[in-house]
């Protein structure tokens, strides 16, 4: 039997399990519900033509609303790749091509692309619904869905979770006496595009000469290695843009897992990014702890153990899994702990996270930690947001969204003042309407445990929001 035939046999067996069939059914329902959300957006903007289909059961995410249409009307680059890669084609055909119809016909698709093909439409959370690079209707997001299916159902498609038996907190050292500085940004791995926000942001960070830099995850479209399409993203869109070893001392850079890196089974993250000596301090793990004085920053992998369709909601795993056991074993004081995750523990507007499987991430982390952390920084939502305390659940945790590192986004319209102190909304005149500036945060931590956070925006050294705690 040839190697390819043997691989087909293994894939068929993987797809035929009861668990796989249940997951596939759930995914198809998720994508149908996502398309319905897009149709509702079209209706609300006077774009939809004809009768509106009935609301399907289940929950979706608007950013995947165009997938059913693209499955049935794929772009040429996508069909060319499938024609050249039979295993990818087999998985795609088996799971979605024959089983995922679209309610968006050609007339409605034309109306959609005409309406959103210019400046796009800004959603409530700042998401831009347009067809330009990295906007929500960009056809190349279809590769994310393809990679996601391949990583789930092709044996060996997912990297093993690296969990050494004894991960110790890393002691931080600043180049200034009695303080350390840490720059953080999320959703930054776009590579150069348009007005090059990723390049400008990392140049600004380097200009501030921080002691450490942390990326909260997301390399686009799918954080790929050489196997997954579009290939080499982890190298081209992340490592090649990161400060060199001469610009940023090796061992002072850190990066985290995310839903987009999980689309390619975290292969690019584990096999490319974490092999780079600049990230050597985290010892090829996707979770780690940083300590300065009696303050601890804990970075957790919220993507690997996610059970949500398309990894859209976070999880650090059950109590028997490595991360909760490790976090619990650190025996930290929650009041002196800052949590970092890629996924958001609350909804973008500050309300409780009540969608798929409830607010599991928040409860998982606080249970393992033994209480509410001092602060929590996350990405995933493409915006820069400072939430008021107490949070919706009554916690005095300082909540901060940092998902605006480089992805295009606009001024959000759905951030109520009762939940939000600040959000990024400065128009970007170079990129054009409706784009606003991308950005990052700089933390300065003193030996006495005081933290000062400074939010910066692309193209300016002016601090747009600051707070100390």
Q: What is the pLDDT of residues 128-184, one digit of tens each?
A: 999 999 999 999 999 999 999 999 999 999 999 999 988 999 999 999 999 999 999
- Give yes or no for residue 99 having a pLDDT over 90: no
Q: Please tell me the predicted confidence (pLDDT) of residue 6.
A: 83
The CA-based angle 62-66-68, given to 5 degrees, is: 115
Which pLDDT score is estimated for 268?
98
Q: Is the pLDDT of residue 221 over 90?
A: yes
Residue-wise pLDDT for 372-427, tens only, equals: 999 999 999 999 999 999 998 899 999 999 999 999 999 999 999 999 999 999 99
Q: What are the chain's domains? A: 3-153 (no CATH), 170-468 (3.60.21.10)
17 versus 353: which is more confidently predicted? 17
Q: What pLDDT, on a 0 to 100 scale, did the predictor assign at position 58?
A: 86
Q: Which residues of 98-133 are buried (b: 16+ CB within 10 A; e: fewer)?
A: eebebbbeeebbebbeebbeeebbbbebbbbbbbbe
- pLDDT by residue (tens digit) across 276-295? 999 999 999 999 999 999 99
Q: What is the mean pLDDT of residues 56-76?
A: 93
Which tens digit of pLDDT belongs to each residue from 317-368? 999 999 999 999 999 999 999 999 999 999 999 988 865 554 589 999 999 9
0.85 exceeded by the pTM?
yes
Instruction: Determine the average pLDDT of the residues in 226-235.
Output: 98
Distance between CA atoms of residues 352 and 394, nearest Å:
11
The predicted structure's pLDDT at residue 354: 67
Q: Residue 5: its pLDDT value, please?
A: 80
H, E, C per residue of 202-268: HHHHHHHCCCEEEECCCECCCCCCCCCCCCCHHHHHHHHHCCCCCCCCCCCEEECCCHHHHHCCCHH
- Is a pLDDT exceeding 60 seen at residue 1? no
State residue 462's pLDDT score. Answer: 86
Comparing 53-57, 116-120, 322-326, 399-403, the range with the smallest average pLDDT is: 116-120
pLDDT of residue 374: 98
In this prediction, residue 211 has a pLDDT band, given cuts at 50, 70 and 90, of very high
Instruction: Give percent of the chain with pLDDT exceeding 70.
Output: 98
Q: Is 309 helix (H, G, I), strand (E, B) or coil?
A: helix
User: Is 287 in a helix, a strand, or coil?
Assistant: coil
Instruction: Look at residue 358 in the predicted model and tell me its pLDDT.
Output: 47
Q: What is the mean pLDDT of the chain?
A: 94
Quick one: average pLDDT of 77-103? Answer: 93
Separation CA 346–CA 358 (nearest Å): 10
Give percent of the chain above pLDDT 90. 90
């Amino acid at each position: 039997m040839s190697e390819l035939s043997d691989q087909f046999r293994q894939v068929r067996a993987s797809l035929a399990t009861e668990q796989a069939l249940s997951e596939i059914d759930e995914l198809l329902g998720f994508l149908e519900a996502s398309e319905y959300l897009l149709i509702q957006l079209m209706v609300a903007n006077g774009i939809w033509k004809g009768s509106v289909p009935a609301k399907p059961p289940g929950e979706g995410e608007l950013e995947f609303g165009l997938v059913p249409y693209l499955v049935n009307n794929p772009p040429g680059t996508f069909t060319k790749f499938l024609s050249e890669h039979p295993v990818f084609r087999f998985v795609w055909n088996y799971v979605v091509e024959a089983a995922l119809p679209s309610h968006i016909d050609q007339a409605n698709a034309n109306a959609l692309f005409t309406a959103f093909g210019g400046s796009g439409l800004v959603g409530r959370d700042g998401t831009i619904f347009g067809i330009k690079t990295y906007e929500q209707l960009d056809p190349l997001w279809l590769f994310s869905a393809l990679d996601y299916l391949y990583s789930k159902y092709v044996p060996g498609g997912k990297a093993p979770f690296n969990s050494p038996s004894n991960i110790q907190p890393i002691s931080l050292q600043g180049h200034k006496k009695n303080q350390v500085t840490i720059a953080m940004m999320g959703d930054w791995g776009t590579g150069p595009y348009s007005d090059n926000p990723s390049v400008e942001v990392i140049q600004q960070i380097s200009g501030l000469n921080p002691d450490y830099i942390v990326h909260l995850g997301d390399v686009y479209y799918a954080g790929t290695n050489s196997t997954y399409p579009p290939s080499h993203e982890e190298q081209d869109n992340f490592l090649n843009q990161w400060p060199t070893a001469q610009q940023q001392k090796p061992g002072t850079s850190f990066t985290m897992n995310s839903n987009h890196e999980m689309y390619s089974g975290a292969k690019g993250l584990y096999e490319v990014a974490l092999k780079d000596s600049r990230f050597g301090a985290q010892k090829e793990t996707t979770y780690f702890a940083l300590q300065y004085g009696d303050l601890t920053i804990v970075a957790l992998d919220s993507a690997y153990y996610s059970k949500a369709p398309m990894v859209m909601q976070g999880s650090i795993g059950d109590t028997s899994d490595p991360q909760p056991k490790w976090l619990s074993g650190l025996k930290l004081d929650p009041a002196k702990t800052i949590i970092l995750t890629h996924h958001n523990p609350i909804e973008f507007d500050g309300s409780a996270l009540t969608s798929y499987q409830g607010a599991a991430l928040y409860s998982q982390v606080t249970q393992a930690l033994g209480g509410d952390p001092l602060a929590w920084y996350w990405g995933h939502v493409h915006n820069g947001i400072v939430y008021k305390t107490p949070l919706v659940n009554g916690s005095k945790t300082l909540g901060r969204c940092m998902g605006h590192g480089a992805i295009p986004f606009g001024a959000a319209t759905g951030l109520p003042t009762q939940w939000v102190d600040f959000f990024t909304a400065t128009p970007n005149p170079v990129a054009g309407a409706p784009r606003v500036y991308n950005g990052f945060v700089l933390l300065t931590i003193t030996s006495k445990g005081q933290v000062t956070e400074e939010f910066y925006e692309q193209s300016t050294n002016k601090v747009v929001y600051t707070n100390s705690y």
